[in-house]
Structure 1
Amino acid sequence: MKATEVPEISGAFLFESTPYADERGFFCRTFDADVIRSVGLDPHAFVQDSVSRSVRGVLRGMHLRSGAGEAKLVRCSSGRIFDVVVDLREDSPTFLGRAFFELSGETQTTLYVPAGCAHGFQALSESADTSYRIDRPHDPSEDVTIAFDDPELAIPWPLPATSMSRRDREAPGLAEVLKQRKER
C-alpha cells in the first residue's frame, strides 16, 4: 500500500492498494495502520464504519459536518464512483480547492478526506458500494449539505443526477453555507 498526497487539498491522501489477481479473483490490503501512521494520521482515530450502495447516476453530496468536523477514509469497494472533495477550511492553504477522483472496486484505492472538507460522489457503474470509515460517531444534528450544482463549485459531474436525497436536492449554495458557518 502506498500513500500519495492530494495537492489540491492540504492534508488529503490517496492510499493505493496493490491487488493481487489470479484465476480466483483478487486479494489486497485496504487498511494498513503503519501506512496511515506514516503520513501523520492516527489509525486508531477511526471509530465507525459504514457502507452505501448506489445505482448508476445516484449523487450523494456535497456533505460535511459542523463543529469539529469529520475526517474520513472513503473507498469504492465494488463498482466505480466519481468522487469529489472541496476544502472548506478557511485557514487552509488550499481553501476552496477541489479534487476529483475515480475510485473503483478494481483498484481499491482509499481517499482520506480531512475534517472541514465537503465530500460527495456519483455512481458511475450499474451498482457501486462505497465504504466510509469516520473519526467521530455520526451526529445528524451536525450534518451540513451544499448544493451539488453550485456554480461556484463548478463540479463536472460526469452523468445527469438520476436520484438523490431530498436533503441533497434542497441544499443551499456554498455562499450561504460559508455565511452560516461564520455566524456560529
Structure 2
Amino acid sequence: MKATEVPEIAGAYLFEPTPHADERGFFCRTFDADVLRSVGLDPGAFVQDSVSRSARGVLRGLHLRAGAGEAKLVRCSYGRIFDAVVDLRPHSPTHRNRAFFELSGETQVTLYVPAGCAHGIQALTETADVSYRIDRPHDPAEDVTIAHDDPELAIPWPLPATSMSRRDRDAPVLADALRHAGR
C-alpha cells in the first residue's frame, strides 16, 4: 500500500492498495496500520466504521463536524463516486482549498479526510457503496451541512443530483453553516 499526500489539502492522503488479480477477481489490503503510522496518523484513533449505498446521481454532503471535527478514511468499495473535500480549518495553510477525486471499487483507493474539512460524495454508477472509518463516535448535535451548490465553493458535481436527504437539500450556504459551527 502506498500513501500519497494530497497537495490541495494539508494533511489529506490517498492510500493506494496493490490489488492481486486473477481469474477469480482480486484481493487487496484496504487498511494497514503501519502505513497510516508512516504518515503520522494513529490507526487506533478510528472508532467507528460505517457504509452507505447510493444509486447513480445521489449526492451526500457537504458534511462537516462542529467542535473537534471528525477525521475519516473514505473508500468506494463498489461502483464509482465523485468525492469532494473542502478545507475549512481556519489556520490551515490550504484553508478554503478544494480537492476532487474519483474513487472506485476497481482501485479500492482510500482517501483520508482531516478533521475540519467538509466532505461530500456523488454516486457515478447505478450502485455505489462507500465505506467510512471515523475517528469519533457520531453525535448528531455536531452535524453541520453546507449547500452542495454554494457558488462560493463551486463544486463541479459531474451529474445532476437525483436524490438528496432533506438535510442536504435544505443546507445553508458556507458562511451561514460556518456561523452555526462556531467558526
Residue aligning to 2:94: 94
Structure 1, unpaired ranges of 5+:
none
Q: TM-score, normalised by structure 1?
A: 0.98
Task: Look up the SS of the partner of 1:138 in the other structure.
Answer: coil
Q: TM-score, normalised by structure 2?
A: 0.98
**What CA distance in whole angstroms lies between the structure 2 residues aligned with 1:64 and 1:182?**
12
**What CA distance in whole angstroms lies between the structure 2 residues aligned with 1:60 and 1:143?**
13
Match for 1:51: what amino acid?
V
Match for 2:142: what amino acid?
E
Task: Look up the SS of the partner of 2:21 in the other structure.
Answer: strand
1:8-47 correspondence runs (5 A): 8-47=8-47
Match for 1:157: what amino acid?
W
Q: Does 1:54 align with 2:40?
A: no
1:17-166 correspondence runs (5 A): 17-166=17-166
**What CA distance in whole angstroms lies between the structure 2 residues aligned with 1:180 and 1:167?**
14
The Cα shift of 1:177 comes to 1.8
**What CA distance in whole angstroms lies between the structure 2 residues aligned with 1:182 and 1:117?**
14
CA offsets, 1:91-130, max 9 Å, x none? 0000000000000000000000000000000000000000
**What CA distance in whole angstroms lies between the structure 2 residues aligned with 1:141 and 1:180?**
11
Identity of matched residues, %: 83
**What CA distance in whole angstroms lies between the structure 1 residues aligned with 2:85 and 2:20?**
29
The Cα shift of 1:181 comes to 3.5
Q: Which runs of 4+ in 1 moved over 4 A?
A: none
Does structure 1 retain, via aligned residues, the 8 Å contact 2:144–2:181? no
**What CA distance in whole angstroms lies between the structure 2 residues aligned with 1:63 and 1:163?**
16
The Cα shift of 1:12 comes to 0.3
**What CA distance in whole angstroms lies between the structure 2 residues aligned with 1:171 and 1:180?**
11
**What CA distance in whole angstroms lies between the structure 1 residues aligned with 2:158 and 2:179?**
29
The Cα shift of 1:180 comes to 3.1
CA offsets, 1:31-57, max 9 Å, x none? 000000000000000000000000000
The Cα shift of 1:156 comes to 0.3
**What CA distance in whole angstroms lies between the structure 2 residues aligned with 1:7 and 1:94?**
9
Does structure 1 retain, via aligned residues, the 8 Å contact 2:4–2:14? yes
RMSD: 0.8
**What CA distance in whole angstroms lies between the structure 1 residues aligned with 2:65 and 2:40?**
22
**What CA distance in whole angstroms lies between the structure 2 residues aligned with 1:180 and 1:110?**
30
Match for 1:171: what amino acid?
A
Structure 2, unpaired ranges of 5+:
none
